[in-house]
A and B are shown apart, each in its own frame.
Chain A
Amino acid sequence: MSDAVSPAAVADLRPVAPAVRRRLSFRAVFGIVVLLLMGGAALAAPQISPWDPGRQMLVKRLRPPMWQERGLREHPLGTDHLGRDILSRILYGGRISLGVGLSAVTLSGLIGVTLGLLAGFHGGRTDAFIMRVVDVFLAIPYILLAMGVVFALGPSLLNVILVMAVTRWVQFARIVRADVLSIREREFVSGARARGNRSVRLLLKHVLPNALTPIIVVATLELAFMIIYESALSFLGLGVQPPTPTWGWMLSDGRNYVATAWWLATFPGLAIMLTVLAVNLLGDWLRDTLDPRLKV
């Protein structure tokens, strides 16, 4: 199952040192620009946010965006059902959603890459064992696993990150392992081994830099997945709990107002969509330039 990414196919076609052809395609530009905007807005939220995102102003609840009738200038994107400013919540929500996504990907990457390296490099029984563990995690539907774990530990920011990382590390492990397996065959590695280099140094000096390509591509794509994942957990009531605003919670909260107060769900939804799109496009472009035949 997990051995499905055939190392043979990967090995034959990739150049030894990937040449990043600087082709400025629309995808890359779009991706980078959007991400910079989102990231910047999220970081600057405390400075640029017009209101306190948790401030309830019940008299002004469900106000439409300012360009609509009944809209208010001081609430450009409208207010939600508790009278909280949507724009502020989107800005602050971005911090959590992006932060959670990045942390989850990092953690997931650390676990996955380490295990993938171990499996690929040592081979034999370590490999077989780790691969079976990967298979086990693949077999259990990630959402059910996440729900079960969040239940046990209780929903909190840390637990959400933990849970997402624990259920997705396999993506990294598989690709890294396949990569390592193919690199192992290469002469310079065998040459180095013949010269008696110790494995860990070998791993870090020669193997890892070459495995970096797929790791980066997977990381970008996983980031996109994590953002959606967070919103799915929020839908189930298991994400980061209120009153901390996250895009996922806002979307989940706002979903009942899609026909009446469309702005509650649409803006966080668009934020998620744009970010995920940007990250995906960036990931696609990375894969294309670094190695278009990578099966990721």
Chain B
Amino acid sequence: MDAVLRALALYLILLVLLRLTGKRSLSQVTTFDFVILLIVGEAAQQALLGEDFSLTQAALVIATLLLLDRASDYLAWRFGWFQRWTQSVPAILVEDGRPLPDVLAKFHLTEDDVVTAGREAHGVERLDQVKWAVLESSGGISVVPHGDSSSGG
């Protein structure tokens, strides 16, 4: 019983913490983000298993976490409000070639971040080559460059 309850509690704690810190938290995989992620995992491990290092305990914790994730995915697919609350929504950063400074500021993003994402995915050289940029609910920035679609740039 304790394995299931521990996994459930930690799942909820992590969900709340990660949602409160915003979709950008830990998504920009710099070395430091990666190290923080490892430390979070290390800290969670103790709380999940306690002093019990048996196979049964580990299997129960893993099964509970996977099942919760599966159930959360299902509920997000079934109910729009559940998806919005647990997984957030995408936000438009560049609208038809026009950067939206208010939105960028809200997410603590700069035009540089948009150009970086465009460079990585499409070899974009300057911001004026970006037609659309979206901060996805996963925390990544996706870029649609001009001239990529049939309308041309």
A joins B in a complex? no
Interface residues, chain B, CB within 8 Å of chain A?
A: none
